[in-house]
Structure 1
Amino acid sequence: MLAAGLAAALVAGLSGCSSSANAQAPAGGPAAELRLGYFDNVTHAPALVGLEKGLLQDALGDTELTAQAFAAGPAVIEALSAGAIDAAYIGPNPAVNSFVQSAGASVRIVAGAASGGASLVVRPGIDGPADLAGTTIATPQLGNTQDVALRHWLAGQGFETNTAGGGDVRITPTENAQTLALFQGGEIDGAWLPEPWVSRLVLEAGAEVLVDEASLWPGGAFPTTVLLVRSEFLDDHPESVRALIAGHTASVGWLTAHQEEAAVVINTRLADDTGKALPDAVLARALGSVRFTTDPLAGTFETLLDAGVDAGTSKPGDLNGLFDLSLLNDVLAEQGEDPVSAGGLGTD
């Protein structure tokens, strides 16, 4: 309840402070302001690097970039739905839920950002799935991408769970920093998390990896973070969205070309946002499990939706139109790069 109240207050505050700026910008032209959401996670490194090095603002030119850190995907969707932000780095399942619940009207995925970097970590003594009976496992938020992954995987192991926290394994949606503290205090038995929280629990709290999510996907490729835009903002300001994508593409390219420097830049942004940098060993381990890419891996999204439906956190629906990759592929073509596919679920 507290988390919901804080999210609602944040949405109200963002709406009140910023709603007038884009209303003054003519539809079809550049927006006066672009309000961007992201998480302080390693899986959101394209946002962290793009903000810290100014790559996003440089690409946006005269459009003012305002950035806001969030804790988990469903809170970002609430802000997008309220018109409090215009675009966000987010996990795939909340994006799917918003699209389905709005009958395709709310959002569009315009690029990928990261693949990999999520795992189930547990206390010593849990050596296999059978040992999870009666345990308490945390996820970042009900219905977020890791929450769905955990529920779906547990079902495949024969466990029953429910969204109220009951069942054979109790799932407790918990803010990531609190999860670390609860695990250190022995109050939970494990968590399904994105990086850097997997590495923090392993290196700072003695957790062990029971399931690397990459092992569950063909070739180990699954989307962790995508770039999502409000449909209305995309329709009104395609020039600004294209500029955001260009800055995002530059950020992904910089991460790929400067792997040794990436940790320093990411840590600088994390320290600015949270007041504390990550230990070098944690950041190095986290970066080793994430691949940064503009490809959203659209071919996985039907599977992600089915997993959410089975977990009870999603409604069945048609994903046709979820992707608009036309601006991304325009940017990639200018750079001599190969196009990425919408997998039949939108515009290439």
Structure 2
Amino acid sequence: MRGPVSAIGLTLAATLLLSGCSGAAAAGSATGPAEELRLGYFDNLTHAPALIGLEQGFFAEALGDTTLNAQAFGAGPAAIEALSAGAIDAAYVGPNPAVNTFVQSAGRSAVIVAGATIGGAALVVRSGIDSPADLAGTTLASPQLGNTQDVALRSWLKGEGYETSITGGGDVTVAPTDSAQALTLFKSGQIDGAWLPEPWVTRLILEADAHVLVEEADLWPNGEFPTTVLLVGADFNRHHPETVRALLQGHTAAVDWLNEHKAEAAAVINRKLAADTGKPLANAVIDRALGALRFSNDPLAGTFPVSLRSALAAGTAKNGDLDGLFDLTQLNGILAAAGGAPISAAGLGME
């Protein structure tokens, strides 16, 4: 590696993460449909149900008189901080940030109400790294400390015999870095690889000559792992069930659309990305990246204890009870009305 990686930002992030959330702000004593729904999401392909729901108007149509305000975030922990502070009411996030806020709040902060995306993450590395044995002394990036890919990377490295630290250093340095910046750093040789979600895996491969060292799908039974779920503040879920149901109607419509309009999906997603960021993805990037993803209402609840154990091993989470993490009752009601099969909470909540 060329050039040191500062641990100051890592230390601050670790302090914020491990100090615990202050608790979700109360959604107010009023019940019934909310006047406003504030929704967090990322401008990532792994958040395609959110992008489609916004671009195609599925959320707005389902919410009716409830005003929708959507806000883009860069990674799960940042969205969780906003949810915990009462700045947003719901968010599309990865499994590990969802688990962290639930555990740290003793189950009072938020509940997962649906799945969104399965798959689409990998460890990509530079030329010359062809096996885990080649990683000693390298620096690898992840999107943010404690996010789903960060935990996957640290857990996998531990299984390969490498020690890491949430403040930097160790046998392999893990440097939480914004995904766009990770691409820049990789191109300049300042990092040796990164565990990222799509489309960043594909971008490093096509734009920076990276190659895949680990497909995360290879680490899970049947190759299936949740990348994105829909999380709702617990107070909001309790006080405004009609609004949560409307949000889920928009969400399920977006998931259905993605699965029924695969030929059109890339263009519509790119239109939303261009509107948000000013930069659509290259056709080769979005086509390859979408092929690694599957969109589903199933959050794969049975994988969440595994995610918690991985986060504990990585040092990015506290232990706790996951009972009550899921509330799939509204989702299953919508699916039943459409003749669909119910989705299991794997004993970790209501269904």
With the shorter chain as reference, the TM-score category is over 0.9
Residue 270 of structure 2 aligns to which amino acid in structure 1?
A: N
Residue 80 of structure 1, CA deviation: 0.3
Equivalent of 1:224, from 210, 223, 227? 227
DSSP 3-state at the match of 2:345: coil
Residue 174 of structure 2 aligns to which amino acid in structure 1?
A: I
1:220 & 1:117 partners in 2: Cα distance? Answer: 10
1:233 aligned onto 2:241: no
Match of 1:186 in 2: 189
Per-residue CA deviation, residues 302-345 of structure 1 (Å, 9 max, x unaligned), is 00000000100010100000000000000000111001000000
Residue 165 of structure 1, CA deviation: 1.2
Residue 84 of structure 1 aligns to which amino acid in structure 2?
A: A
5+ residue gaps in structure 2? 1-7, 13-24
Superposition CA RMSD, Å: 1.7
1:154 aligned onto 2:166: no
Equivalent of 1:294, from 292, 297, 303? 297
- Aligned residues of 2:335 and 2:341 also touching (Cα < 8 A): yes
1:94 aligned onto 2:97: yes
Identity %, equivalent residues: 67
1:175 & 1:207 partners in 2: Cα distance? Answer: 17
Residue 93 of structure 2 aligns to which amino acid in structure 1?
A: I
5+ residue gaps in structure 1? 6-18
Per-residue CA deviation, residues 41-67 of structure 1 (Å, 9 max, x unaligned), is 100000000000000111111101100
Per-residue CA deviation, residues 100-124 of structure 1 (Å, 9 max, x unaligned), is 0000100000000000000000001
Residue 64 of structure 2 aligns to which amino acid in structure 1?
A: G
Match of 2:253 in 1: 250
- Aligned residues of 1:138 and 1:188 also touching (Cα < 8 A): yes
1:279 & 1:3 partners in 2: Cα distance? Answer: 32
2:62 & 2:131 partners in 1: Cα distance? Answer: 48
1:266 aligned onto 2:269: yes
Match of 2:131 in 1: 128
1:308 aligned onto 2:311: yes
TM-aligned CA distance change 1:271 to 1:239, over 3 Å = same
1:276 & 1:30 partners in 2: Cα distance? Answer: 36
1:342 aligned onto 2:345: yes
1:224 & 1:289 partners in 2: Cα distance? Answer: 11
Per-residue CA deviation, residues 220-251 of structure 1 (Å, 9 max, x unaligned), is 01000000000000011000000000100000
Match of 1:285 in 2: 288
Residue 2 of structure 1, CA deviation: 7.5
1:30 & 1:347 partners in 2: Cα distance? Answer: 21
DSSP 3-state at the match of 2:71: strand
- Aligned residues of 2:136 and 2:171 also touching (Cα < 8 A): yes
- Aligned residues of 2:118 and 2:295 also touching (Cα < 8 A): yes
Residue 30 of structure 2 aligns to which amino acid in structure 1?
A: A
Could you state the TM-score of these two structures normalised by the residue count of structure 1? 0.93
Residue 155 of structure 1, CA deviation: 0.5
Residue 129 of structure 1 aligns to which amino acid in structure 2?
A: P
Residue 38 of structure 1, CA deviation: 0.3
Residue 100 of structure 2 aligns to which amino acid in structure 1?
A: N
Residue 39 of structure 1 aligns to which amino acid in structure 2?
A: F
Residue 284 of structure 1, CA deviation: 0.5
Equivalent of 1:108, from 87, 99, 111? 111
2:11 & 2:111 partners in 1: Cα distance? Answer: 24
1:207 & 1:238 partners in 2: Cα distance? Answer: 46
Equivalent of 2:200, from 172, 197, 201? 197
Work out the number of aligned pairs and report it.
333
Residue 332 of structure 1 aligns to which amino acid in structure 2?
A: L
2:221 & 2:326 partners in 1: Cα distance? Answer: 22
Equivalent of 2:122, from 119, 122, 131? 119
1:81 & 1:239 partners in 2: Cα distance? Answer: 21
Residue 27 of structure 1, CA deviation: 2.6
Could you state the TM-score of these two structures normalised by the residue count of structure 2? 0.93
- Aligned residues of 1:28 and 1:239 also touching (Cα < 8 A): no
1:140 aligned onto 2:132: no
Match of 1:46 in 2: 49
